[in-house]
Amino acid sequence: MGKIDLITIILIAANVIISYKGFSDYSFFEKYKFNVGAVKRGEQIRLFSSGFLHADNAHLFFNMFTLFFFADVVIKAMGTFSFVIVYVGSLLLGSLLSLYFHKNEYHYSAVGASGAVSGIIYSAILLQPGMSLYMFFIPIPIPAYLFGIGYLLYSIYGMKNRIGNIGHDAHFGGAVGGYVITLILAPWLFKTNLLMIGLLALPIVLLYVLKRMGKM
């Protein structure tokens, strides 16, 4: 990888600083986390602020590690401004999907940059489907699209089993956001990467089917 872009550094720093503030300040965490009841009472800021809080160090590290690897691909292909649109748009769509899924659960809460990061993953893979990643102790390169699809399949598992205080629903809203926003900003992908567009739609379709069947 080349030199990390300034906007990526700023986003990672913001997530780390705000998350650590939340780790040590319970009232701060409670005030800015995503909570259905609070959002319905008019605290819409939570739809955005919850994307900079995390449940614990592992949650924070995984999201920032993933953002670090995928952000540069989007920035180089579409520029900083488009990257920010994808990031913020995916974050908000992730929160809105969580609100939709849990609209009658007034105590439902969640935190994390998962929506924004999922959007960046999907955007990066659409823009550069042939890239590979070396992950931790796995000595062979992993196709990025497999990582992206696996990330969302894990999200389905997390949503079904309510794992942790993590916005697994937001993974999907974010993925849809990154998917749609990138295709709007880079419509030439329909000519060059049509197969990848179809593959990345599969987890989204799976979620829709499970929801329709009442299994989510």
Is residue 36 within 8 Å of 105, Cβ to Cβ? yes
Top-confidence residue, 159 or 12: 12
pLDDT score, position 104: 92
pLDDT tens-digit map of 38-57: 999 999 999 999 999 999 99
**Mean local confidence (pLDDT), 109-120:** 91
Of 197, 152, 158, 191, the C-alpha closest to 175 is: 152
Which class for 65: exposed (0-12), middle (13-18), buried (19 or more C-beta within 10 A)? middle
**Which tokens is 207 given?**
């979620």
Q: Where are the domains of the chain?
A: 6-212
**Mean local confidence (pLDDT), 172-177:** 88
pLDDT score, position 215: 63
- Under the phi-then-psi rule, with left for phi > 0, alpha for psi from -120 to 50, and beta for the rest, what region is 162? left
Q: What residues form DSSP beta bridges with 142?
A: 133
Of 1, 126, 110, 129, the C-alpha closest to 63 is: 110
Of 137, 19, 108, the C-alpha closest to 67 is: 19
pTM of the model: 0.86
| Options 1.20.1540.10, 1.10.357.10, 1.10.1740.10, 1.10.3720.10; CATH of 6-212 | 1.20.1540.10
**pLDDT mean across residues, the chain:** 87
pLDDT tens-digit map of 15-36: 999 999 999 999 999 999 999 9
Is residue 123 within 8 Å of 75, Cβ to Cβ? no
